Amino acid sequence: MEEENKSVENIEKSIRNKLKKLGYIYDDLDKKKQNYLVKIEECILKVYKRENEAKKLITNNNVSIKNMSENANIARQTFYNVPILSEYVNYNSKEFDKIGISLKLSSSSEEIQELKADIELMQKRDIEIEKLKKDIEELKQELKTKDYTISAFRKRI
């Protein structure tokens, strides 16, 4: 019971912090809205938990002598004493690496990071282009002013 109260307190604390960042005060909300937020936060925590469990499962899901030894209940020493077994596992390990989702996830993560870096560079470039456009407009305006001044001087002369 006490642990459940701590959990609810932690959830409410998390909600308070997030609402503060959004510009709201938890205690100013009516009980119904507070209850909705608690339910939503509990669901969000479940999603995070499932995501972490899936990541662990994928990370530990590979074809290796160690993994096969544990899952097939065959002593690791047997794999080394019977070369065909280790060759078979190593062959399948290479095949699995070609299609394994963990490898794809890591390469996808790297690609995502590279793309984010590219996007950041493009955003900086776009900001520079906008600054240059503004500078060009200011220079055009300055040129018009100077042209007007020159024509005024010419008329006087």
pLDDT digits (tens, 9 = 90+) for 46-93: 999 998 888 777 766 778 888 888 889 999 999 889 999 999 999 988
Residues 93 and 115 occupy one common structural domain: no
Residues 156 and 136 occupy one common structural domain: yes
Residues 117 and 137 occupy one common structural domain: yes
Other Cβ atoms less than 10 A from the Cβ of 86: the count is: 17
Amino acid at 29: L
Rounded to two decimals, the pTM is 0.46
Instruction: Record the tokens describing residue 12, joined without a space.
Output: 């409410």
Q: Which domain holds residue 26?
A: 1-60
Total count of domains within the chain = 3
